[in-house]
Amino acid sequence: MKEKKTPAKEEKPDKSILEKKYPINEAIKLTKQYNNKKKFNQSIDVCIILRQIDMKKQENKIKENVFLKDNCGIKKKVFAIGRNLCVNAKGIADKVFNDDDLNKLTKDKKKMKKFSKEYDYLIAEPEYMLKIAKQMGRILGPIGKMPQAIAPNIDPKPLIEKLNSSIKIITTNNNAIQFSIGKENADDSKLENNFNTILNLIKNKLPQKTQNIKNIYLKTSMGKKIQVKI
């Protein structure tokens, strides 16, 4: 009879560790250490809490794509719509749609809603943009998933590869911004670079820069929150 393996005990941090703020390089190490070990490769998530800013005002909203040198294991899904893209983006995009596919999709509201949740970025040839806007705009617009136009004679590979390694930052009416900087098995220095790239963009978009940031937390999907020094 095989002896059952005892699961590794979760390493729990002292309360003092969770109350302290750390430079990002130390915060990444602690986040990995107190990750509530799981069998899957967890993502490392960031939550930025804002202050002294009304995110309901249009001028304070942030809607940006941040292109990263290394996606650190978090690859974004890219879908493509168009006759030429069905050929040129096949095997590069995660999924391609021709005219028939688009017609079937736009006739079923449930399918459109499901479709909107399946991808991170959508690219389409210019002639399809108006139809997508008219028939799917109410679903895709509010969640920031309207397509990006690409000319039919342009090689889509560079754009798709760029989108695969990007993070979409979209603020809502609450005072929290959340995003992932990579998987926990990624190199610490690359995770740090991703964090700094995204944080710098957010700071530059805020009217009072770092004064508008109250707290920053770092954690794995199932781990403890570690505070980051601003």
Are both 148 and 110 inside the same structural domain? Answer: yes
Q: Cβ distance 56 to 224 under 8 Å?
A: no
Domain boundary residue, one of 164, 187, 202: 164
Least confident of 8-17, 72-81, 142-151, 152-161: 8-17
Are both 171 and 63 inside the same structural domain? Answer: yes
Are both 97 and 160 inside the same structural domain? Answer: yes
DSSP structural state of residue 80? E
Are both 28 and 104 inside the same structural domain? Answer: no
Structure tokens at 61: 């909203």
pLDDT band at 9 (very low <50, low <70, confident <90, very high): low
The enclosing domain of 107 has a CATH number of 3.40.50.790
Are both 158 and 180 inside the same structural domain? Answer: no
Domains: count for the chain: 2
Query: What tens digit of pLDDT does each residue of 187-218 get?
Result: 999 999 999 999 999 999 999 999 999 999 99
Are both 159 and 177 inside the same structural domain? Answer: no
**180 closest CA partner among 45, 1, 22, 17:** 45
Least confident of 6-20, 156-170, 184-198: 6-20
Are both 91 and 159 inside the same structural domain? Answer: yes
Given a cut of 80, whether residue 13 has pLDDT beyond it is no
The Cα angle at residue 220 between residues 215 and 222, in degrees rounded to 5: 110
- Dihedral of CA 51/183/19/15: which sign? positive
Structural domain containing residue 41: 15-69+167-228
Domain boundary residue, one of 122, 140, 164: 164
Domain boundary residue, one of 164, 191, 210: 164
Given a cut of 80, whether residue 19 has pLDDT beyond it is yes
Q: Cβ distance 128 to 102 under 8 Å?
A: yes
pLDDT for res 173:
87
The answer to whether position 208 is within a domain reads yes
**168 closest CA partner among 99, 90, 67:** 67
